[in-house]
Structure 1
Amino acid sequence: MAHTPRHITTPERRARLALRHRLTPRTRATTPEEVAASLVALHGSDPATVYLAVGARLADASVTVAETARALYEDRTLIRAHGMRHTVFVYPAELTAVVHASTGLAVAARERANLVKDMAKAGAPDATWLKAVEEATLSALTRRGQATASELALDEPRLREQFAYAAGKSYEGVHTVSTRLLRVLGVEGKVVRGRPLGGWTSSQFRWAVAPAHPELDTAEAQAALLDHWLTTCGPATEADLKWWTGWRVTDVRRALATIGAEPVTLDEGTGYVTTADLAPVAGPAEPWAALLPALDPTAMGWQQRDWYLAPELRPALFDRSGNVGPTVWWNGRVVGGWAQRPDGEITWRILTHDDIDREAEAAIGAAAERLRGWVGDTRVTPRFRTPVERELSA
């Protein structure tokens, strides 16, 4: 006899989020590796997001910059590379093969085909020429350890070659071989982002040869990734999973079936959890507040967000492309936004007054002071700016 799916309420979903994403004082992590594992992956499109997301979840936030840089650029226990939705992420090194096989291979094939096609349309050299440039570039990068595109072009001058793109169209332009080729090598898992030029907020970076990893079957890798994600972020709807991974819905359904995911009911409809995750989860023992950065993986974790972010708050907190800005959290839901002013002050604004009392304001203020304490003299401007962040930072 079929059993009735368990209903997981919105308060329980918020409790799971708080505890598993290490957002309460008692659940904070001791290393950046623990933070990344708790979230599966950190958004890496904006370099500052990685550090701010880690700092919000470390027991000792003062070590955020040094420890995160160590993990990324010395120990290589965290990898910054293309992943889900053709977006740059930071994820544990042990997930490299899973991310690559589950989401990277299809994108890589498309990116290389598009590059060859665009070069052919422009009358540029063919795929054989491109392959020779690729091999010489990887050899140069191996010798150097880490290098910028400009440094690699000193060893392989053909990287400086340019070709016209989309001639005759409104978005026509000129592309450099180095820019397009290194992007292709990135999604193919052959190169990764290296140490930045400048401080931890810098968007200029070096490249490095990607660590070796085994080649996995795509379906097996998709099942493994979905199992990781549901363990830390479940329950989730089919729409959430399709959006987060960037896969076809058929891939999502196959992976759910492979891991034997259990259906549950949510306010949004049917959701899924792993077979080991059906037991009720109690809320944190204490109330909690957090200031999370733009593109934080918790705020961007689900496509359907009403259970933690009221629809009326979205115009102030998102840009026109759907990127979330810095958010203020109280007990499992977004209640406002924050920004850093030119003098370094962390300023914040509550956008809803439901259940926001003196205790909440004091906790949010303490979170702001904690952030100000470890950021120090660094000034952080999100790559994707939102209305409330612009206003507060002025």
Structure 2
Amino acid sequence: MGARRYIGAAERRARLALRHRLAGPARAATPEEVAASLVALHGTDPATVYLAVGARLADPAKTVDDTGRALYEDRSLVRMHGMRHTVFVFPTALTAVVHASTGLAVAAAERASLLKHMAAAGAPDVAWLKEVEESTLAALARRGQATAAELAQDEPRLREQFVYAPGKSYEGVHTVSTRLLRVLGVEGKVVRGRPLGSWTSGRFRWALAPEHPELDGAGAQAELLGRWLAACGPATEADLKWWTGWRVTDVRRALAAIGAEAVELDGGTGFVAAGDSDPVPGPDEPWAALLPALDPTAMGWRQRDWYVAPELRPRLFDRSGNVGPTVWWNGRVIGGWAQRSDGEITWRILDEEGVGREARAAIRAEAERLGGWLGTTRVTPRFRTPLERELAAG
């Protein structure tokens, strides 16, 4: 067996530029192309989906219209729970894979938790919850899309409340609708529908999930891991375990199933998809990007030193590890950006290494490009970071 091929930071950045549609010539024509290239778009903050798509479109002018069409009319993209109990936007064709590889285990834990908390509160039993569930799904089928309040008009038991963790310092009151719809979401029975208000709103309607086949769990894990490595490889075992939320035994089994190739990275071993270890040339031209908070590229790996310097993180991440808006130059995070109350896109460079007039001009152009399609819309990240707060305040 020959020595493992070494893939350094420069080549990893080249792969990122092309495969994540960030370098100019690699930009996509549609939101569907963006989602397919990235595998999943973070959906915890509704605005992130649109901002991540807009940053990667060759023509971002129709970002809002085309992304809304894909999500709520064509249903070629679906917002649903996925890895790490997190809401993502996936290509519809991938929903069965996500459900079988990740959703089922999460769903079992979520349902067990709900039943445990209801029992502790003296709430009705499993049979009662099953009746409410079936009635809710039937109401949703009739309505097409509906809010929890609208569904409660058809199924009043959704309004019932129970006390969570009675006697504890974190005691709270939960409504059946809130907990049950979350369970149905991770079980792949319902998905988020069109929001109330604009595309930045987090108040969603619910809709029945698109039908999909039930897949073998191990096979689905191999499929998902293979797609992710094709988009994000090389990655370490720690990266893969973190991104998927799986046990390390599941990660290793999936790596073996797809015949992943081991490569040498700075400080350890990484993996690429089978046949993907050949050198990858970088883009012909330097590139800049303004990526939003929770962007899937900035959040793609657990081990991030190859694209963001450790000393920058306290200002660019919150205390829970959520990344804020970032400024990129040739595959490195060099600073952050924010939108002020008057709509201006403002940015600051934190890492000056290799950043000259060309870089500043390119960043300025990206800021103008972003401001152009945002228009009068104002966007504030759900998870705010120190630099974003500072820049937004002016």
TM-score normalised by L of structure 1: 0.99
For the pair 1:299 / 2:262, whether they are aligned, the reply is: no
Equivalent in the alignment of 2:389: 390
Give the structure 2 partner of residue 281 of structure 1: 280
In structure 2, the partner of 1:57 is 56
Deviation sequence 1:312-340 (CA, Å, 0-9, x none): 00000000100000000000000000000
In structure 2, the partner of 1:253 is 252
Distance 2:273 2:20 in 1: 17
Give the equivalent residue in structure 1 for 2:332.
Answer: 333
Distance in 2 (CA, whole Å) between partners of 1:287 and 1:298 is: 18
Supply the distance in 1 between the matched residues of 2:170 and 2:32 (Cα, whole angstroms). Answer: 41
Secondary structure of 1:303's aligned partner: coil
Deviation string for 1:76-108 (max 9, x for gaps)? 000000001110000100000000000000010
1:169 corresponds in structure 2 to: 168
Q: How many residues were matched structurally?
A: 393
Could you say what secondary structure the match of 1:353 adopts? coil
CA distance in 1, matches of 2:225, 2:3: 23
Distance 2:94 2:210 in 1: 12
2: CA distance between counterparts of 1:163 and 1:246? Answer: 30
Q: Which runs of 5+ in 1 are unaligned?
A: none
Deviation at 1:275?
Answer: 1.2
SS, match of residue 95 in structure 2? helix
For 2:113 and 2:345, the matched residues in 1 are separated by 44
Q: How does 1:168-247 map to 2 (within 5 A)?
A: 168-247=167-246
Matched residue of 2:246: which SS? Answer: coil
Aligned-pair distance for 1:169?
A: 1.0
Amino acid at match of 1:64: T
Equivalent residue number for residue 365 of structure 2: 366
In structure 1, what residue type is equivalent to 2:5? R
Q: 1 CA distance for matches of 2:120 and 2:173?
A: 13
Inter-partner Cα distance in structure 1 for 2:69 and 2:209: 17
Q: Describe the SS at the equivalent of 1:236.
A: coil
CA drift of 1:352 comes to: 1.0
1:333 & 1:344 partners in 2: Cα distance? 26
SS in 2 for 1:35: helix
- Can you give the 5+ residue segments of structure 2 that lack an aligned partner in the other structure? none
1:131 and 1:149 mapped to 2: Cα distance? Answer: 17
> Which runs of at least 4 in structure 1 moved beyond 4 Å after TM superposition?
none
Where in structure 2 are the equivalents of 1:12-31 lying within 5 Å? 12-31=11-30
In 2, Cα distance between the equivalents of 1:274 and 1:39? Answer: 15
Structure 1 partner of 2:156:
157
Which residue of structure 1 aligns with residue 78 of structure 2?
79
Query: In 2, Cα distance between the equivalents of 1:93 and 1:276?
Result: 27
Q: Superposed, which structure 2 residues align to 1:308-319 within 5 Å?
A: 308-319=307-318
How far, CA to CA, are the matches of 2:276 and 2:62 in structure 1?
A: 33
One-letter amino acid of the counterpart of residue 207, structure 2: A
Question: What SS does the aligned partner of 1:342 have?
Answer: coil
Q: What is the rounded CA distance, in whole Å, between the counterparts of 1:24 and 1:283 in structure 2?
A: 9
Match in the other structure for 1:39:
38
Q: What is the CA deviation profile of residues 253-302 of structure 1, one whole-angstrom value per residue up to 9, with x for unaligned ones?
A: 00000001000000030000011201100111000000000000000000
CA apart distance, 1:170: 1.2
How far did 1:225 drift? 0.2
CA–CA separation in structure 2 for the residues paired with 1:85 and 1:268: 26
Q: Following superposition of structure 1 onto structure 2, how do residues 73-112 of structure 1 map, counting pairs within 5 Å?
A: 73-112=72-111
Q: 2-side partners of 1:377 and 1:276: how far apart?
A: 47
Q: Aligned-pair distance for 1:166?
A: 0.5
SS at match of 2:48: helix
Q: Which residue of 1 aligns with 2:267?
A: 268
Match of 2:121? 122
What do residues 169-213 of structure 1 show as CA deviations (whole Å, max 9, x unaligned)?
A: 111100000000000000000000000000000010100000000
* Distance in structure 2 (CA, Å) of the matches to 1:347 and 1:217: 48
User: Which amino acid in the other structure matches residue 340 of structure 1?
Assistant: Q
Report the secondary structure of 2:122's partner residue: coil
User: Separation in 1 of the partners of 2:106 and 2:282?
Assistant: 39
Identity across the alignment (%) = 79
CA distance in 2, matches of 1:210, 1:170: 37
Q: Which amino acid aligns with 1:316?
A: R
- Paired with 1:3 and 1:212, the residues of 2 have a C-alpha distance of 46
- Letter in structure 2 aligned against 1:89: F
Aligned equivalents of 2:183, 2:119: Cα separation in 1: 16
Per the TM alignment, residue 168 of structure 1 is displaced from its structure 2 partner at its CA by 1.1
CA RMSD for the aligned pairs? 0.4
1:144 counterpart letter in structure 2: R
C-alpha distance after superposition, 1:208-251 (max 9, x if no partner):
00000000010000000000000010000000000000000000
Q: What SS class does the counterpart of residue 270 from structure 1 fall into?
A: strand
For 2:362 and 2:228, locate their aligned partners in 1 and report how far apart those are by CA, in whole Å.
Answer: 29
Find the aligned partners of 1:341 and 1:132 in 2 and give their Cα distance: 49
Q: Could you tell me the TM-score, scaled by structure 2's length?
A: 0.99
